[in-house]
Structure 1
Amino acid sequence: MNGQDWKGRIIFHVDMNSFYASVESNHDSSLVGKPLAIAGNPKERRGIVVTASYEAREYGVKTTMPVWQALKKCPNLIIRPPDFNKYRAVSAELFHFLEEYTDLVEPVSIDEGYMDVTSTFKERNVLNMAEEIQNRLYKELGLPSSIGIAPSKFLAKMASDMKKPLGITVLRKRELSQKLWPLPVEDMHGIGAKTAEKLKMLNIYTIGDLASYSSDSLKGRFGVMGQKLHERANGIDYRDVDPESAKEVKSVGSSTTMSVDIDQKQELLNVIWMLSEKVEARLKQKQVCSANFQITIRYSNRKTITRSKKLLNPLFTKEDIHTQAADLLERYWDGEAVRLLGITGLEVIPITDAYKQLDLFSYKKDIQDANLSDTISELTNKYGKHILKKGHRNNES
Structure 2
Amino acid sequence: MSIQKNKARIIFHIDMNCFYASVEMAYNTDLKGKPVAIAGNPEERKGIIVTSSYEARAKGVKTTMPLWQARKLCPNLIVMRPNFERYRAASNEIFRMLFQITPYVEPVSIDEGYMDVTEVEGNPVELAYRIQNDIMNNLDIPCSIGIAPNKFLAKMASDMKKPLGITILRKRDIEKKLWPLPVEEMYGVGSKTAEKLRAMDVKTIKDLAYKDEYMLKQAFGINGQRLKSRANGKDLRPVDPDAVHDFKSIGSSQTLPHDTTDEKEIFHLIDVLSDNVERRLKRKEAAGRSIQLMIRYHDRKTITRSKKLPSYIEYKEDIKNTALELWTKNWNTEPVRLIGVTVQDVIEKKNLAEQLDLFTYEKEEKKDKLYSTIQQLSNKYGKETFKKLNNEEEKDSEFLRTSFQKDFLDDFRK
If the length of structure 2 is used for normalisation, what is the TM-score? 0.58
The match for 1:180 is 178
Q: Tell me the TM-score normalized by structure 1.
A: 0.61
Match of 1:46 in 2: 46
Which residue does the alignment assign to 2:131? 133
Picking from 136, 154, 166, the partner of 1:168 is 166
Paired position in structure 2 for 1:370 = none
> For residues 131-280 of structure 1, what are the structure 2 equivalents within 5 Å?
131-247=129-245
Return the offset for 1:23: 0.7
Secondary structure of the residue that 2:245 maps to in structure 1?
coil
Q: Distance in 2 between matches of 1:157 and 1:244?
A: 19
Q: Which residue of 1 aligns with 2:372?
A: none
CA distance in 1, matches of 2:130, 2:36: 28
Count, aligned residues? 251
AA partner of residue 14 (structure 1): I
Match of residue 305 from structure 2: none
Q: Note closer, same or farther for the CA distance 1:239–1:346 as it changes in structure 2 (3 Å cut).
A: closer
* Greater mean deviation of Cα atoms: 58-67 or 142-151: 58-67
CA distance in 2, matches of 1:54, 1:99: 29
Asked if 1 retains the 8 angstrom alpha-carbon contact of 2:92 and 2:412, the reply is no
Unaligned residue ranges in structure 2 (runs of 5+): 1-5, 247-282, 284-378, 381-409
- Give the conservation status (yes or no) of the 8 Å contact 2:93–2:412: no
Match of residue 27 from structure 1:
27
Question: How far does residue 137 in structure 1 lie from its aligned partner after superposition?
Answer: 0.7
SS at match of 1:169: strand
Larger radius of gyration: 1
* Separation of aligned partners in 1, 2:104 and 2:412: 22
| Distance in 2 between residues matched to 1:348 and 1:127, nearest whole Å | 26
Spell out, residue by residue over 1:59-103, the C-alpha distance to the aligned partner (whole angstroms, 9 max, x if none): 111111111111111111100000112111111111001111111
Q: Determine the C-alpha separation between the residues in 2 that align with 1:218 and 1:58.
A: 37
Q: CA separation in 2, counterparts of 1:100 and 1:203? A: 46
- Structure 2 counterparts to residues 279-294 of structure 1, below 5 A: none
Listed one character per residue, the Cα deviations across residues 290-310 of structure 1 (whole Å, up to 9, x for unaligned) are: xxxxxxxxxxxxxxxxxxx98
Deviations 1:343-365 (A, max 9, x none): xx96988xxxxxxxxxxxxxxxx
User: Equivalent residue for 2:102?
Assistant: 102
Partners of 1:83 and 1:60 lie apart in 2 by: 24
Alpha carbons of structure 1 residues 246 and 347: separation in structure 2 relative to 1, 3 Å? closer
Q: Runs of at least 4 residues of structure 1 off by over 4 A?
A: 345-349
Q: CA deviation at 1:247?
A: 3.3
Contact map agreement 2:42 2:81 (CA 8 A) in 1: yes
SS in 2 for 1:51: strand
Identity over the aligned pairs, expressed in percent?
A: 60
**Where does structure 1 lack aligned partners over 5 or more consecutive residues?**
1-5, 251-308, 311-344, 350-397
Q: Which residue of 1 aligns with 2:375?
A: none
| SS, match of residue 138 in structure 2 | helix
Q: 1:220 to 1:135 in 2, by over 3 A?
A: same
Q: Find the residue that maps to 2:242 and give its secondary structure.
A: helix
Aligned equivalent of 1:88: 88
SS of aligned partner of 1:64: coil
Shift in alpha-carbon separation, 1:102–1:69, aligned structure 2, 3 A: same
Per the alignment, residue 278 of structure 1 pairs with none
Q: Deviations over 1:344-397 (max 9, x none)?
A: x96988xxxxxxxxxxxxxxxxxxxxxxxxxxxxxxxxxxxxxxxxxxxxxxxx
User: 2:412 and 2:179 mapped to 1: Cα distance?
Assistant: 44
1:10 paired to 2:10: yes
Which amino acid in the other structure matches residue 105 of structure 1?
V
In 1, the alpha carbon distance for the partners of 2:218 and 2:99 equals 42
Distance change (3 Å), C-alpha of 1:161 and 1:347: closer
AA partner of residue 179 (structure 1)? K
Quick one: distance in 1 between partners of 2:108 and 2:412? 19
1:119 aligns to what SS in structure 2?
A: coil
Contact 2:117 2:124 in 1 (8 A): no
